[in-house]
Amino acid sequence: MAEAPVIPGPNAAPLAVAVVGAGNMGGAMVERLCEAGWAVAVHDTAAAACERAARAGARVASSAADAVAGLPPQGALIVVVVDAAQTRAVLQQAAPAMQPGQAVLLCPTIAPADTEALAAELTRHGLHAIDAPMSGGPARARDGTMSLMVAASSEARAAQDTLLRALSSRIFDISTRVGDGARTKLVNNLLAGINLVGAAEVLALAERLGLSAQRTLDVIGQSSGQSWIGQDRMARAVAGDFEPRAHMTLLEKDTRLALEAAQAVGFAGPLGAAAARTFAEASAAGLAGQDDAALLKWLRQQNPGGEDQHPGQ
């Protein structure tokens, strides 16, 4: 059930926000904010993303600097791009055009050190950094039930409470140390990657054992092997739907960053490296542009014979 968005009162001025990056997650966030009555300015390099934002009622901006133009004193920029390099490029344009006291929500999954460096640069511009990675996928971003992992100063967190609550009913206040949101997201995504590799592996095995993949997935969904990402992705994979919602390269990146964070503190676990290697190998095999559900396809290719024996399952 969708969560009711935060809507300005009938006599209130429209709440304003800028969003750079209106792809699957960012676009869903834009639609939610527009529906709630926010004045949203959007910049994206993809024409399709801009068209979607315009249909939702957003103003399409020509650049990141244009997107933040006219934000109120307590206004905010939400950055929803892919990686640290893209985030840095956005902020190089936007930060000089923003007013001291405004905020930037850093939503991409990036290394904690990059988050800290970006936050330090924002501070030099007099801007507040809110470390706010997200999880849950576009549908949950659209209905306001995605997870937001927030690390920010108490002042910045309080100033942007209305925006954060408009975006999600599931806000986790991690700490006041910027970078801890990124750390939490990497821990989460490493487990998501491990779970997804495991789900694809056991379904490929089930097929080789002569079992129906769909019936096996039904059992797992109601049993001890269930995981949210495994159920979500493998349902699509069994149906042959590999249209990218979350590209293979995203969990390839996220698991690699998680391993780097682990290595930085001298931690080595048994499963994370195997999961990261699996995503890297699947991407290198030509599946980089497909949905990460295509892990099942890749494992079938590594172990041919199972699904061909049970057409239509």
Pairwise CA distance, residues 163 & 235, whole Å: 33
SS3 217: helix
Catalytic residue among 185, 245, 297, 300: 185
Q: Where are the alpha helices (DSSP H) in the chain?
A: 24-35, 47-56, 64-68, 84-94, 112-124, 138-143, 154-159, 161-167, 180-208, 213-221, 228-238, 248-264, 272-282, 295-302
Pairwise CA distance, residues 152 & 184, whole Å: 13
DSSP annotation of 302 reads: H
Say whether 185 is catalytic. yes
Pairwise CA distance, residues 214 & 233, whole Å: 12
Q: Which residues contact 23 (CB under 8 A, 6 or more apart)?
A: 44, 46, 49, 80
Q: Which residues contact 208 (CB under 8 A, 6 or more apart)?
A: 303, 305, 306
Own/partner contacts of 56-61, CB < 8 Å, gap of 24 or more, are 56/27, 56/30, 56/31, 58/19, 58/22, 58/30, 58/34, 61/18
Catalytic (active-site) positions = 185
